[in-house]
């Protein structure tokens, strides 16, 4: 791999990182914007800041899973990386355009799988890594859902004798804390996925050894880029996440964000790449269903689930085509 190709692919990886922040900004700020705790431009700045400071808290366990635990590292080359990134970015652009909250994480994993299979067949996939990811597709929204319900019930019980105005005033302040925690979880889990890609690239190019630690410039570049992407966040998805699934108040926004943040922190410490979109959607549906089942717009939630189902196969298909096209010009 030439130096020029390496630089080009690092730039493409950072473009995916930017798109990840841009596409998934809605997950971190939708509730705080829809409840009018912060105006949109302040909300994205708030989320971007906490996306960046996440590197002070988390290690690189998720990056290691992406870099070494999804596909066989021996078959990774610049064609596979290019195909994976194009597959993930293409699906992100399509779902952003239509305002559908889909998973950037699973688009990347689908892209890696599609490009790897195009090169070497099904045996290039690491079953344990894909099973871990498949389990997370179900468990992350389920845990978000359960925590959303539990927190909503606990808050309702604790604040039962308080006036609605007092509850609203307090939870407008507390939502700033919950949004911060969720943004840290988003940055901690999602930025590491791009780190894993660049890690693979550097090892493949012979720039670093397979057992060497990830260079710090990669860490800073990935956290900085996802924070920048969040600053330019996609407002189409904010509307779906913040109001179309269920109507949110500051108290329900706080419970959804806190439930989502706990799930993301747990997954990141375990090194499991999860979807921030799946997690917060599950939590929002959970808090909405506590009010009453009819408070959740199940048709909208159903459309989101279909987007989740199609994410991995669609990004894998595009990645396989991109892998083939990459041989023409890389």
Burial label for 99, CB within 10 Å (0-12, 13-18, 19+), is middle
Could you tell me the pTM of the whole model? 0.83
- pLDDT value for 242: 47
pLDDT at 120: 93
* pLDDT above 60 for 22: yes
Q: Looking at the predicted structure, is the pLDDT value of residue 280 above 50?
A: yes
Grade residue 249 by pLDDT with cuts at 50, 70 and 90: confident
Mean pLDDT confidence for 184-210 = 89
Is residue 298 over pLDDT 80?
A: no
CA-CA distance, 295 to 180, in Å (whole number)?
26
Token pair for residue 194?
A: 């791009």
Question: Tell me: the pLDDT tens digits for 137-164?
Answer: 788 889 999 999 999 999 989 988 888 8
Cα–Cα dist 54/273, whole Å: 15
Per-residue pLDDT, 8? 94
- Evaluate if residue 25 carries a pLDDT over 70: no
Give the model confidence (pLDDT) of 33-71 as tens digits: 777 777 777 877 888 889 888 888 888 888 888 887 889
Closest CA to 245 of 313, 148, 168: 148
Closest-CA residue to 131 (of 143, 139, 120): 139
Q: Which domain holds residue 298?
A: 3-329
Per this entry, what is the length of the chain?
330
Confidence at residue 173, expressed as pLDDT on a 0 to 100 scale: 87
The more confident residue out of 306 and 78 is 78
Band of the pLDDT at 309, cuts 50, 70, 90? confident
Q: Nearest to residue 22, comparing CAs of 104, 79, 144, 119? A: 104
Alpha helices in the chain (DSSP H): 3-34, 40-53, 61-68, 78-97, 104-120, 127-158, 164-204, 216-231, 235-239, 250-270, 276-291, 298-329
Cβ 107 vs Cβ 315: under 8 Å: yes
Distances, alpha carbon 321 to alpha carbons 54, 198, 205, 210, 305, in Å: 35, 21, 23, 28, 25
Q: Is the pLDDT of residue 243 over 60?
A: no
How far is the C-alpha of 292 from the C-alpha of 48, rounded, in Å?
33
| % residues pLDDT > 70 (the chain) | 90
What integer is the mean pLDDT of 26-34?
Answer: 71
Q: What is the pLDDT of residue 301?
A: 63
> Residues of the chain with pLDDT > 90: what percent?
33
Domain count, the chain: 1
- What's the whole-number average pLDDT of the chain? 84
pLDDT of 100-135, one tens digit each? 767 888 899 999 999 999 999 999 999 888 888 778
When pLDDT is averaged across residues 236-261 and rounded to a whole number, the result is 72
- Residue 285 scores a pLDDT above 60: yes
């Amino acid at each position: 791999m030439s130096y020029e190709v390496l630089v080009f692919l690092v730039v493409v990886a950072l473009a995916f990182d930017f798109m990840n922040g841009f596409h998934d900004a809605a997950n971190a700020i939708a509730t705080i914007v829809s409840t009018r705790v912060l105006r949109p431009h302040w909300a994205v700045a708030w989320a971007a800041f906490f996306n960046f400071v996440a590197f002070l808290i988390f290690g690189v366990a998720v990056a290691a899973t992406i870099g070494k635990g999804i596909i066989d590292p021996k078959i990774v080359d610049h064609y596979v990386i290019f195909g994976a990134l194009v597959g993930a970015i293409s699906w992100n652009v399509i779902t952003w355009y239509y305002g559908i909250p889909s998973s950037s994480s699973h688009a990347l994993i689908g892209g890696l799988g599609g490009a790897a299979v195009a090169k070497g067949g099904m045996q290039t996939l690491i079953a344990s890594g894909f099973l871990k990811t498949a389990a997370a597709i179900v468990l992350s929204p389920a845990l978000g859902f359960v925590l959303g319900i539990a927190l909503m019930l606990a808050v309702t019980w604790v604040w039962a004798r308080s006036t609605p105005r007092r509850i609203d005033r307090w939870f407008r302040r507390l939502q700033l804390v919950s949004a911060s925690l969720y943004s840290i979880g988003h940055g901690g889990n999602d930025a590491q996925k791009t780190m894993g890609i660049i890690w693979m690239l550097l090892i493949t190019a012979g720039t670093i050894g397979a057992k060497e630690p990830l260079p710090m410039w990669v860490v800073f570049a990935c956290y900085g880029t996802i924070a920048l992407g969040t600053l330019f966040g996609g407002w189409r998805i904010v509307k779906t996440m913040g109001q179309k699934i269920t109507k949110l108040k500051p108290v329900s926004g706080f419970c959804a964000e806190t439930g989502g943040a706990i799930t993301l922190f747990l997954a990141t410490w375990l090194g499991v790449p999860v979807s921030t979109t799946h997690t917060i959607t599950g939590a929002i549906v959970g808090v909405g269903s506590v009010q009453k089942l009819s408070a959740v717009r199940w048709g909208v939630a159903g459309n989101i689930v279909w987007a989740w189902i199609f994410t991995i196969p669609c990004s894998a298909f595009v990645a396989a085509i991109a892998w083939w096209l990459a041989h023409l010009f890389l």
